[in-house]
Amino acid sequence: MVVLLAEDDELILKTIAHKLKKEGFEVVLTRNGLEAIDLIKEGGIDLIISDIMMPFASGIEILSALKRLGRAIPIIMLSGMGQEEIVLEAFDLGASDFMVKPFSPNELIIRVNRLIALQK
């Protein structure tokens, strides 16, 4: 299972990546939204975890790109507090789940596993 992790905060990126690797996932990392879209285009991604606010392209733009490309990849959005409107927009565009920062990395892993189980 390949998880694309798009997050511009170095600590969050490293922590989630290690957690996912520990759980047996293969992880592809990116620190900006535009690169995330390119990686999605290349294919081979089974699940995406993306921050909403990122340089060059936001999480919302990643969702739009997924829709445009016709890829049905489950995506978990990470949002900051007070971004409720953006979260609603994200759900409208097809986000599968979201977590508000500060978040529990353990809970994120549970949600990842749940989404993967639903896919099977």
Contacts with another protein by CB under 8 A lie at: 9-12, 14-15, 18-19, 22, 101-107
Q: Which long-range contacts (CB under 8 A, 24 or more apart) does 14-18 make?
A: 15/105, 16/49, 16/105, 16/108
Structure tokens given for 62: 């990643």
Beta strands per DSSP E along 33-96: 47-51, 75-79
Structure tokens given for 49: 């975890």
Q: How far is the CB of 9 from another protein (least distance, A)?
A: 7
Nearest of 77, 71, 84 to residue 103 by alpha carbon: 77
User: Nearer Cβ to another protein, position 22 or 68?
Assistant: 22
User: Nearer Cβ to another protein, position 34 or 99?
Assistant: 99
Q: How far is the CB of 118 from another protein (least distance, A)?
A: 23
d(CA 49, CA 30): 10
User: Nearer Cβ to another protein, position 104 or 118?
Assistant: 104
User: Nearer Cβ to another protein, position 21 or 67?
Assistant: 21
Q: How far is the CB of 66 from another protein (least distance, A)?
A: 26
Q: How far is the CB of 45 from another protein (least distance, A)?
A: 22
| Sign (positive or negative) of CA dihedral 14, 33, 107, 99 | positive
